[in-house]
Structure 1
Amino acid sequence: MSAPPSPSPTRWFKALRRTRIGDSCTKAGPVSCAEQLKRARAAFRAGRTLKECFRQAQLEALVRMLAEHECDFVDALCRDLHKPRFETVVSELILVKNEALYAINNLTKWMEPQHVERNLATSLDQCMVVTEPLGVVLVVGAWCSPVQLCLVPLVGAIAAGNCVIINPSDISSHTAELLHRLVPSYLDNECYHVLLASASDLPEIVDLKFDHVFFTGNSADGTKVAQTAARTLTPVSLVLDGKNPCYVDQHCDIGTAARRIAWARFHNAGQSGVAPDYVLCHADAKAQLVQALRCSLLEFYGTDPRESRSFGRMVNAENFTRVRDMLGKSGTVAVGGQVNEAEKYIAPTLLTEVMEADPIMQQEVFGPVLPILTVNNVDEAISFICRREKPLCVYVYSSNSKVISRLMEETSSGSFCANDSILQSLMVVLPFGGVGASGMGSYHGRSSFDTFSHRKSCLLRGTRIECVTYLRYPPYEDRNLSLMTWASTLSNKSQGWCQIL
């Protein structure tokens, strides 16, 4: 496998200057954003992003940035989340590269006009749908996966031909600063900007009037973004946190289910919006599942997870305190439960005897704690899920296809996965997004391109059939109406040819 091409000396020194350890970036706010928006609008109006070759070049530059600065991203995420290198490379960098490469390989096809079915009345015309970029879009990322959740939407926005302002979360500050320093060294400086602003500034920033806002984060901030955007009729995509249920049937491979659930729940120290948030376990399988989960945690992190190089930490003291307090007021600790405030460490923890009214069931966990509730059958599990807000993801582990089908058909969620967790949210070919309380809109692959595009309906007509179209003109005659009514009845039977001629 050949090494990635070396950057030019100018770019290398520019990137080095921007990524010195110890440098800090001053937070910006609405005033700085207004200036960036002005520059981006000027670039968009000049047609800078319209050509396919420009979009391809920007996507290729994004891939180079990730390859040439892998170590910098690993270091930044380690400092923000104590994230292991393996997790950073696999769930952040490779995921973004896959999205960019998929867009590069499919961009020509995506940009082509889509011709639609014609009828007799339009047989001599051209009927097509043309995709055009929206303009300048705002991408607001979340702190839990700060590279992935900023750059995957960015890929779609670039592919669709937009100018973009990225606002990474200031909670994962080292990663935000790294993006702020690197992006100008690789992407067009007029079209693409990184804004370092806090969540409290978001309403004022959104009020500046973008052509689209893509937000990933918690429901409270997402609601504020949507309310502000509504005032200026700005379209939004929201990917919001939620409590993702996971039903474990008595008929399943308990060992495999436990490993996959444990990996998904305790990956990134549980700080994930797509991980199983709680387990609804069939009563006949509960003892086996708890034991299998205990064995999986021992296999993954050893006897003392605090010493494991594969286990992360809470992102800040606020999140640590929130999870610790929920842990102390909910259920019974079956495994783990140890905490260390100085390190922002919470051990991988299993909670049993959890009740629906417990604090940990009232909000997203976003930490390394897995509540386990007991149900007597699949009907009870479905009822439990359906009486709560619609989640971002629903998971089920069962060897019974009828159980899987029932969960898929009788519950509503942004996505669904059987006998695994999280993977459905990472696949380029599957659209991912929320529904109801878990958000609106979707992205990944072609869905990202469509999200950041306007599908414009186009009809290109000639004048050769005026001998027929005259029927629609005044003065209105009963004879003409009878002919058009007759044509309309034909159209109901054969995909029609009337259509007001």
Structure 2
Amino acid sequence: MVESEIRKEEYTIPLREFFYKGTTRDVDCRIGRLKALRRAITGQMEEINAALWRDLRKSGGESYLTEIGMVLGEIDYHVKHLRQWVKPRRLATPLAFWPSKSRIMYEPYGVVLIIAPWNYPFQLLLEPLIGAISAGNCAVLKPSPFAPATAEVIKKIIAAVFEPGYVSVFDGEGDVVEQLLRERFDYIFFTGGSRFGQYVMEMAAKHLTPVTLELGGKSPCIVGRGANVKIAARRTAWGKFINAGQTCVAPDYVFVYEDQRAEFVEAVRLAVKRFYGDYPYESPDYPRIVHREGTERLARLMHSSGQVVVGGEVNVEEKYIAPTVLIDVEADSPIMREEIFGPILPVLTYREIDDVIRFVNKREKPLALYYFGPEQEAREVLNRTSSGGACVNDTIVHLANPRLPFGGVGMSGVGKYHGKASFELFSNLRSVVKSFTFFDNHFRYAPYKHLNLLKKFM
């Protein structure tokens, strides 16, 4: 008990003391720190790129497109709109309670815990932090131990911008996460796998701490019979193979009309060649799997399901899996029972769109759903399915728009963030009624002689 209390002081007491000073509630302070964070990021651009290369072999172009650029854009959006967001929102008050005024105030929760994964170690730690700071909170950050180089750069950036009591970074393995989750936070934001997400929610429930869980699942891609197959293949390949498939919203599998499978597969082959050349292994733009264990898992999935028609090369020592396409995949095969999270794309076929919709609806609700084809059928697919987000005639771009809330539904996640949704996510919407004393409405008091009249105003 004593050891636990000592650790608790090390983790949370300085942040609570800092929060209670009220510094973070000042809007000018929030905007100033966000601007300082932007300057620190742009000043460390080379170090961030080098770290992402060491951790995941991401190129400078992919690092900016999927990590650094998204974080900078999120900061800019918050800085531009924060003063408007924080204003109390006036609402109407029932006439029966006249003279009173009603409003919603946005107040920070307090001290929030942000746990990030390894696949986008920069973006998925700092984007929720932006929302937490924008809403006026203090934060504890837990980067993934599988991206140690990026974690070190983030620690330098945070130290340059925030006092330790404002934002603190805690490195370490799973025991550090375990200890953090035993403590009482005012909000917990977790990005990662569904299994550990359930554990986070279980631990948070002990303190009734609200949580956001950004998880994943098997995001389907549907190519309608009337789709432009070449564009569908190219955009599906881009969304699937970026970050070597280690993206929570990557197309997990694709359905194509049975007579168009050959055309689609060939178009994917040409897209891979265009993106990464004849030998993706040698391409500086093609990342690696995060660790050996992940590479071995993907190799087992690939070899136990379907027929390889594109790619298929594996180098476990180099943590390399080639951009791969599988056909003749059974619906109950191993690769269709778990999220792939790698550069392997199963291609299934269908005859009727109703069969695809039933297939999707029989499984857990995905984080994303993608459809290529005519507008009328797109509406039908969207109306008859459910997912955290969706794109029509594209993949994954919906998460890059700060005006769109991003998150899952069901087993793919709880809560939405990005842009204003992030500010609101990390804010307690406090309902306030202000009544005046120049007039006292006696209708509401016992013995309720005027109840019938009062009913007319309720």
TM over 0.5: yes
Post-superposition Cα deviations, 1:306-351, rounded to whole Å, max 9, x if no partner, equal 1111101110011111101101101000011011111111111000
Alpha-carbon distance between aligned partners in 2 of 1:370 and 1:189, rounded to the nearest angstrom: 44
Alpha-carbon distance in structure 2 between the residues aligned to 1:484 and 1:53: 45
What is the alpha-carbon distance in structure 2 between the residues aligned to residue 250 and residue 120 of structure 1? 57
User: What is the match of residue 41 of structure 1?
Assistant: 16
Given residue 360 of structure 1, which amino acid in structure 2 is its aligned partner? I
Is 1:464 equivalent to 2:434 in the alignment?
no
8 Å Cα contact 1:76-1:174 kept in structure 2: yes
For residues 344 and 211 of structure 1, the distance between their equivalents in structure 2, rounded to whole angstroms, comes to 39
Give the letter aligned to residue 389 of structure 1: E
Identity of aligned residues (%): 38
Question: Between Structure 1 and Structure 2, whose CA radius of gyration is higher?
Answer: 1
Matches within 5 A, 1:142-221: 142-221=117-196
Question: Are 1:225 and 2:206 counterparts?
Answer: no
- Matched residues in 1 for 2:262 and 2:231: separation? 15
Q: Does 2:416 align with 1:442?
A: yes
Instruction: Say which of 428, 435, 441 aligns to 2:402.
Output: 428
Report the equivalent of 2:454. 484
SS at match of 1:276: coil
Cα distance in 1 for residues equivalent to 2:362 and 2:410? 13
Query: Are residue 455 (structure 1) and residue 429 (structure 2) matched?
Result: yes
Q: Secondary structure of 1:49's match?
A: helix
Report the secondary structure of 1:138's partner residue: strand
1:32-431 to 2 correspondences below 5 Å: 34-122=9-97, 124-398=99-373, 400-431=374-405
Please point out which of 426, 445, 449 is paired with 1:473.
Answer: 445
Alpha-carbon separation, structure 2, partners of 1:459 and 1:186? 37
Conserved? CA contact 1:79–1:174, under 8 Å: yes
CA contact under 8 A between 2:301 and 2:334: conserved in structure 1? Answer: yes
Q: Is the 8 A contact 2:11 2:180 kept in 1?
A: no
Displaced runs of 4 or more, over 3 A = 29-34, 121-124
Contact kept, 8 Å, 1:242 with 1:364, in 2: the verdict is: yes
CA distances 1:146-194 after superposition (whole Å, capped 9, x unpaired): 1110000000000000001111111111111221232111223320111
1:117-172: CA deviation from partner (whole Å, max 9, x where unpaired): 23433554221101000000001111100111000000000000000111111111
Q: Which amino acid aligns with 2:309?
A: A
Letter of the structure 2 residue corresponding to residue 480 of structure 1: H
- Cα deviation digits, residues 408-458 of structure 1 (max 9, x gap): 111111001100000101110000001000010000000000000001111
Aligned length: 455
Deviation, structure 1 residue 465: 2.9
Q: Root-mean-square deviation (CA), in Å? A: 1.5
Q: CA deviation at 1:33?
A: 6.6
Q: For residue 145 of structure 1, give the secondary structure of its aligned residue in structure 2.
A: coil
Match of 2:443, as an amino acid? L
CA distance in 2, matches of 1:247, 1:302: 27
Alpha-carbon distance change, 241 to 31 in structure 1, aligned in 2, over 3 angstroms: farther
Partner Cα separation in structure 2 for residue 414 and residue 137 of structure 1: 23
Native 8 Å contact 2:190 2:212 kept in 1: yes
Compared with structure 1, are the counterparts of its residues 182 and 157 closer, same or farther at alpha carbon in structure 2 (3 Å cutoff)?
same
Contact 1:246 1:277 in 2 (8 A): yes
Does structure 1 retain, via aligned residues, the 8 Å contact 2:37–2:157?
A: no
Q: CA deviation at 1:197?
A: 2.8
Secondary structure of the residue aligned to 2:65 is helix
Q: What does residue 23 of structure 1 align with? A: none
Question: C-alpha distance in 2, partners of 1:410/1:116?
Answer: 35
Deviation at 1:249, TM superposition (A): 1.1
Which letter does structure 2 place at the counterpart of 1:483? L
Give SS of 2:407's match: coil
Instruction: Tell me how far apart the structure 2 counterparts of residues 361 and 470 of structure 1 sit (CA, whole Å).
Output: 66
Distance 2:209 2:44 in 1: 35
Comparing 335-344 with 444-453, which one deviates more in the overlay? Answer: 335-344
**Within 2, Cα distance between the matches of 1:180 and 1:321?**
31
